[in-house]
Every structure is written in C-alpha cells, then in structure tokens.
Amino acid sequence: MEIIATHKSTDFDALASVIAGTLIYPGTVPVLPKAVNPNVKAFLSIHKDVFDLKDLESINIEDLTRLIVVDTNSWERIGIDSEQKKHMNGLKIILWDHHPEGDIQADWTCREEIGANITLMLREIKKNNIELSPIHATLFLAGLYEDTGGLTFPSTTAEDAYAAGYLIENKADLTILSKFLRPAYGERQKEVLFTMLQNAKRTKVKGFTISCLIVEMDKHVRNLAIVVQKYMEILNIDAAFCVFKQKGSDRCTVISRSNVEELDVGLIMKSMGGGGHPGAGSVMIKSKNPEAVEEWIMELITGNQRSSVTVSDLMSFPVISVKPDEKMMDVMLLLREKGCTGVPVIDNGKLLGVISIRDFKKVRKNKMDAPVKAFMSRKNFTITPERSPIEAARKMVKYDIGRLIVVDNDEVIGIITRSDTMTYFYDLLPD
Ligand SMILES: [Mn+2]
C-alpha cells in the first residue's frame, strides 16, 4: 500500500499537496491526520467524497510499501511516533517540502524554500501535462494563497505567482476560495485595532500628520499589516508606524504605512534594517524596549537620526568645480571629460550654485561662450555630511535636483548624487 501523508493541523497547502500527490502518483491513498484546521474542515465537509481521504489512524503501518510525505519533513508533525517508525524499516520514502530541514530521511526529496509547497508539486504536474479539474485548481489555489498571504508574504517567489496564474487559467473558482480561506481581517485583528484606536495619538512632524504607536500584545496575531492600514485610514493621517511587542518576546515588529509620496516609509524601514516600498514597509528589531524603537523611528522621520550610514559615507570627493566666469563651452567639455552630470560653481571658496547637464538644454548654440553664472541653478542644493541618506533623497526630490553639494562649516567637502542614494537604498553598495 502506498499513502500520501502530511502534517497535523492540516492547512490548505497541506491538503492541496496531498491531493496533488494522488495526481502525480496514481493509485496512492491520500491520508489526513485526525486534526485539521477549521477552515480545511469546513472545506472537507463539502468535498470529502470527491477526494476519498482516509484517516491516518485507520492505516496499518506494516502494510506500507511506499510513503509520500508532503508539506512537512518532521515525523512528529505527521503524527508517527517512534514505536510506529520501528515498523518502517526499508520503507521507500518520497518527500515534497518547503520548510527548513527536518528529521525525515527520504529516498527521494524535493525540498525548496518557496512560498507554498503546492507550487513545487505543480511544477511536476505541469511538466507531465496532468489535467486539473476546476475543483483541483480551486483547492490548489487556496493552498497557495494561504501560505503566501495571497502572494504578499516575503517568502513568495515568482514561481508561486506563475503557479497562481496557471491555476486561474485552469478555472480555479475565486468565489469558492474566498468563502473557505480564513478572512485576513477577523476577530483577533479587530481586537488589536480597537486597542490601537483607544490609545491612538497623532503628531505633527515635518509638516506630516503621523501616528507612531506602541502596541503590546498577549499573543501572536497574523495579518497586522491590514490592521495598520485600517488604523491609518480611520485616523485620516499621512502615515502610521506601529511597534508591535508580544509579551515575553525579545523583539519588536514595526509595520508602517504611508499615504503621501513625500514620506517614504520603505526608506525609513530600510534604514532600520527592514524593507518595503514608499507606501508600506516593515522591520523586525531585536529589542525588548519598544520605546527605544519608537524614538528611533521619530528621529529617522525628523532627520535627526543616528543612522549608521550618513551622507559622508556615500558622497564622492574631492569635488571638481568651476568658476562663475568660465564659459559654458569649457564646462561642457569638462563634464564630458570627467563623466559627471553636474558640478558646483565656486568663487573664492564660496559656493554660488550648481551647473548640470540639464542646464545646457536652455543654452542656444551661439551662447556657448556665455559664463556659467548665467545658467547655473541657485536652488537649495547643499546638505551637511552627518545627515541621513533619506534626508538627502527627500531634498533632491523636493527641489527636483540630481545632486547635493556636501558642505561642512561653509567648506565644500563632497558631492552626493541621486544615484549614490539609490545605490544605498537598493543595497548595491560594494561590501
Ligand atoms: Mn505549506
């Protein structure tokens, strides 16, 4: 007898993987442990006959010739104890899993860290052109969505997204699916949101209305990003930063959302070691002290931060500069020769402006012997070296300029460009 088994508290990814196993290995018996998740239970109450699932308890381990394990690699998680394992000597084992390594030694393994286990098995199904019914496609997509949070969890890979596309092509029913998947915003999320609203506070910082809130929790709650989103909408603020601290845990999770382009929360989370996008970001910080984390966030927003990386780390120097009376033609040749897109204009050590390639668009051909001072930009183009890359980026966006001159005690010491700051934010800094 050949069976396919999976982990206790079976979720949709596990159930989908068991059923996918029956397609990949025809004639094998799909088996479930006694305890399955409530949403899977609800799904099975309607679909049980379709899949003809057996209970693990009804299987005589001694009858097994081959065991296929999916979505786990731990004996304990399947519910097979050491007594039963004694009867499994010489048993052929096949393993499909997307978790870190466990204690099951298989004869054949496909284990990759990917969003959902069903994605791995779909690879095989696609390769062998195995036909999927709409019920299969719907169940598989439920598994994929559950384990990837609808393709939003950081563990999601491109292959998970392609697999979702494949399942929708094969007529996965999104209406049925949404009925069975646990709603992202449920009772526990509502409880957290209510607590947050009771303690809600708003602050004005740098012209933005924001809320930075510490939320202490008794237990782990999933999908807090949705809660933060709702919190920001209800308070009608520009951005929200929520520091979640679970009792007894030695770390804090910060989840942030922003409504305004000028306040890029992804950059702020990035400077704290996390990541994100302009509108959404998060970071996990090893700290027992949420107040210190809150303080750090506020410093990053105001720009008065102790960022580990400052403008002085990213700037280039020495600075090539030109004098205000130099001819546009000569400056053009200098920019070409040095390969820069702009240089400061300095007279007797005093910074007067910046001339960039963009300024040459305004110059007619016959004016190329005019002095630089006639065309240079006089916008607010300086920054001090101890400032953060975020502030530099923000200033460049605000004044629509591609570079800032780094000035320390009225002396020009470097130049930082848009691409310098981008290099930093996209982790392209050479180590
Ligand atoms: Mn899984």
CA of 12 to the centre of ligand 1 (A): 8
User: In the prediction, which pLDDT does 304 show?
Assistant: 52
Q: What mean pLDDT is predicted for residues 77-89? A: 85
CA of 120 to the centre of ligand 1 (A): 10
CA of 391 to the centre of ligand 1 (A): 41
Q: What mean pLDDT is predicted for residues 307-315? A: 80
Pairing of the two strands 280-285 and 275-277 = antiparallel
The label of the residue with tokens 């403008």 reads 311
Alpha carbons 81 and 267: distance in angstroms, whole number: 49
CA of 389 to the centre of ligand 1 (A): 39
Q: How far is CA 25 from CA 19, 28, 34, 83, 260, in A?
A: 10, 6, 23, 27, 52
CA of 182 to the centre of ligand 1 (A): 15
Pairing of the two strands 350-356 and 2-5 = unpaired
CA of 93 to the centre of ligand 1 (A): 19
CA of 215 to the centre of ligand 1 (A): 29
CA of 356 to the centre of ligand 1 (A): 54
CA of 90 to the centre of ligand 1 (A): 27
Give one DSSP letter per residue of 331-354, joined into a string.
Answer: HHHHHHHHT-SEEEEEETTEEEEE
User: In the prediction, which pLDDT does 184 show?
Assistant: 66
User: In the prediction, which pLDDT does 352 show?
Assistant: 92
Does pLDDT of 80 surpass 70? yes
Percent of residues, the chain, with pLDDT higher than 70? 97
Q: What mean pLDDT is predicted for residues 224-229? A: 89
Does pLDDT of 23 surpass 90? yes
Q: What is the DSSP letter of 327?
A: B
Dihedral of CA atoms 92, 97, 102, 107 in degrees, nearest 10, equals 20
More confident of the two residues 365 and 374: 374
CA of 98 to the centre of ligand 1 (A): 7
Does pLDDT of 13 surpass 80? yes
CA of 56 to the centre of ligand 1 (A): 19
More confident of the two residues 288 and 235: 235
Residues bordering ligand 1, an ion, CB closer than 5 Å: 13, 71, 117, 147
The overall pTM is greater than 0.75: no
Q: Contacts by 261-265 with C-beta closer than 8 Å and gap 24+?
A: 262/208, 262/394, 262/397, 262/398, 263/208, 263/210, 263/238, 263/239, 263/301, 264/390, 264/393, 264/394, 265/239, 265/241
CA of 229 to the centre of ligand 1 (A): 26
Helix %, strand %, coil % of the chain (to 5): 40, 25, 35
More confident of the two residues 431 and 110: 110
Lowest mean pLDDT among 2-6, 80-84, 168-172, 330-334: 80-84
Q: What mean pLDDT is predicted for residues 45-73? A: 89
User: In the prediction, which pLDDT does 372 show?
Assistant: 93
CA of 72 to the centre of ligand 1 (A): 8
Q: What mean pLDDT is predicted for residues 117-129? A: 97
Alpha carbons 19 and 52: distance in angstroms, whole number: 10
- 3-state secondary structure (DSSP) of residue 169: helix
User: In the prediction, which pLDDT does 428 show?
Assistant: 47
In this prediction, residue 426 has a pLDDT band, given cuts at 50, 70 and 90, of low
Q: What is the identity of the amino acid at 185?
A: Y
CA of 83 to the centre of ligand 1 (A): 27
CA of 118 to the centre of ligand 1 (A): 7
Distance from the Cα of residue 421 to its chain's centroid: 20
User: In the prediction, which pLDDT does 306 show?
Assistant: 45
- Ranges of beta strands (E only) in 259-311 are 275-277, 280-285
What pLDDT, in 10s, does the model give residues 148-191? 888 987 788 999 999 999 999 999 999 888 888 866 678 889 99
State the average pLDDT for the chain.
89
User: In the prediction, which pLDDT does 430 show?
Assistant: 45
User: In the prediction, which pLDDT does 388 show?
Assistant: 80
Domains and CATH numbers, the chain: 2-180 (3.90.1640.10), 187-306 (3.10.310.30), 313-425 (3.10.580.10)
CA of 10 to the centre of ligand 1 (A): 9
CA of 77 to the centre of ligand 1 (A): 12
User: In the prediction, which pLDDT does 431 show?
Assistant: 43
Q: Find residue 4's DSSP bridge partners.
A: 30, 68
What pLDDT, in 10s, does the model give residues 239-282? 999 999 988 888 899 999 998 877 888 888 888 888 777 788 88
In this prediction, residue 307 has a pLDDT band, given cuts at 50, 70 and 90, of low
CA of 257 to the centre of ligand 1 (A): 28
CA of 147 to the centre of ligand 1 (A): 6
What pLDDT, in 10s, does the model give residues 192-224? 999 999 999 999 988 889 999 999 999 888 778
In this prediction, residue 341 has a pLDDT band, given cuts at 50, 70 and 90, of confident
